[in-house]
């Protein structure tokens, strides 16, 4: 009986360690915003902790950027059509949340989720060194773009250029072009910016259960040459000694049909972290069930 009790105890310890290990993989991420504490229907402008709220400077856009419910206890921010086809930014301070990425940082990660509806779009998600960005262009550093003018492909900013993204490396241009990543309507994309602020460079990773091209976490590369390191927008000629202090997002001009949804923004200021900080609830259950099955076999 004592031996059986020891086996049972060690099995339960295994379950605990597995669950703890998965939790720890996500623990190094700090939540910036998941929009769950805001009531559905509210405009994003002015929401957030006291002294560090989201700012939508363009009054014409404020009523078109709202909190929507996507399931029990799960809200997101939704961007819909604008009447004036202007570029509209929406930003909040990473520094104010204690999540600035200092210039001396060799490894940090910004994570968020992205989903688009049917139709064309011109959308940007940005990490920048500007406290109050005046635009979605020149005040950017790290930048992911989805643009109808390029056939609604994902593009990454590298110095002075937007570059189409592919999953295929190597010298075959036709193969790289065929593997370009096109946003699938209603698919949720997990996005990681892996940032080295000492070299003003970053890498882009994505994963989506709704896009067979990137069903697992995949580094996205430049379709032009298959390389995977992107340069900050304003560092094309020289390094810029600035902390990254603001998260900025929004629609970058005409051609937007939408809607587009952003959710679950997390930051790890100390590592390249490709864990998903918001795993499906089934993940932990599956691991626990597997561990319990192992326990039963051992008995």
Q: What is the DSSP string of 259-288?
A: -EEEEEEEEETTS---S-SS--HHHHHHHH
* Listed residue (255, 275, 274, 268) closest to 119, CA to CA: 255
What is residue 19's predicted lDDT score, i.e. its pLDDT?
Answer: 45
We find that the CATH architecture of domain 30-274 is: Sandwich (2.60)
pLDDT digits (tens, 9 = 90+) for 19-78: 444 445 556 999 999 999 999 999 999 999 999 999 999 887 888 899 999 999 999 999
pLDDT above 50 for 2: no
* Listed residue (154, 152, 175) closest to 163, CA to CA: 154
What is residue 283's predicted lDDT score, i.e. its pLDDT?
Answer: 43
Report the residue count for the chain: 299
pLDDT digits (tens, 9 = 90+) for 11-21: 444 444 444 44
Q: What interhelical angle do 281-298 and 2-27 show, nearest 10?
A: 160
The mean of the pLDDT values for the chain is 85
pLDDT digits (tens, 9 = 90+) for 155-169: 999 998 999 999 999
Model pTM? 0.85
- Phi-psi region for residue 45, left (φ > 0), alpha (ψ -120 to 50) or beta? beta
CA distance 144 to 158: 10
CA distance 123 to 266: 19
Pull the structure tokens for residue 269: 């200021």
> What is the secondary structure of 227-264 as a DSSP string?
---EE-TT-SSS-----B-EEEEEEESSS----EEEEE
Beta bridge mates, 43 = 66
């Amino acid at each position: 009986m004592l031996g059986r009790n020891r086996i049972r105890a060690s099995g339960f310890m295994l379950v605990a360690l597995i669950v703890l290990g998965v939790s720890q993989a996500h623990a190094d991420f700090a939540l910036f915003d998941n929009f769950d504490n805001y009531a559905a229907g509210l405009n994003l402008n002015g929401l957030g902790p006291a002294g560090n709220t989201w700012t939508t400077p363009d009054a014409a856009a404020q009523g078109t950027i709202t909190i929507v419910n996507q399931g029990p206890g799960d809200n997101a921010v939704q961007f819909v059509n604008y009447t004036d086809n202007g570029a509209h930014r929406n930003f909040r301070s990473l520094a104010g949340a204690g999540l600035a990425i200092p210039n001396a940082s060799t490894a940090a990660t910004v994570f968020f989720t992205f989903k688009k509806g049917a139709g064309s779009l011109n959308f940007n998600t940005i990490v920048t060194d500007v406290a109050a960005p005046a635009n979605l262009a020149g005040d950017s550093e790290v930048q992911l773009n989805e643009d109808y003018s390029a056939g609604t492909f994902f593009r990454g900013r590298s110095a002075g250029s937007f570059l189409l993204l592919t999953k295929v490396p190597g010298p075959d241009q036709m193969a790289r072009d065929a593997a370009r990543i096109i946003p699938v309507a209603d698919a949720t994309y997990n996005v990681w910016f892996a940032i080295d602020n000492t070299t003003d460079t970053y890498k882009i990773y994505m994963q989506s259960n709704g896009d067979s091209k990137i069903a697992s976490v995949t580094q996205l590369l430049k379709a032009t040459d298959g390389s995977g390191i992107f340069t900050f927008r304003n560092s094309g000629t020289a390094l810029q000694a600035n902390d990254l202090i603001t998260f900025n997002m929004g629609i970058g001009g005409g051609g937007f049909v939408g809607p587009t949804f952003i959710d679950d923004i997390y930051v790890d200021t100390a590592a390249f972290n490709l864990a998903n900080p918001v795993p499906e609830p089934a993940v932990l259950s599956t691991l626990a069930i597997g561990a319990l099955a192992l326990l039963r076999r051992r008995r």
